[in-house]
Structure 1
């Protein structure tokens, strides 16, 4: 988030400013991963089960026909 009134000023890099501008797109991707691709933080009984669940969700996200995009200089990637 942006610097509040009572906070000490911290120098933000260009990367930090760019991430803050596109925060809504990043949160949309996380929301799709959690809800549509079913990547949730649960208590897995084994680390292999966790990795299989995570990779399955990422593959499902990659195969989705439409994904949110960050505009770059007026165009979409």
Structure 2
């Protein structure tokens, strides 16, 4: 879906807004290198404060379709095969904790095959959370 947006909309209609736009293949190579700096930026600059009530949730981030697992090598050793209520996928799970105001308190990326309960058992994800904490069953 992102490839379609990049190739058919941005490259044709918004080229002037992105003068140093790279090809999709080059973008896919750079994506892996940019993941850690973007995560650090989000953790340090955009995190909110706990208001006494916090909610946990998770979302699936598909890297690509299941049929392309063996063709793509970009996230080969990082992503994993997982299962969600929608179906099977290859990618990551985003687990986040937000306040009652909707501000993100903390988040973590994990391979798609990781158990949803494990990050909640660690102290790193629950750092900064106080008061009541709600999460779904999984």
Common fold by TM > 0.5: no
**Which structure shows the bigger proportion of residues in helix conformation?**
1
TM-score normalised over the length of structure 1 = 0.29
With the length of structure 2 as denominator, give the TM-score of the two structures. Answer: 0.19
Structure with greater strand percent: 2
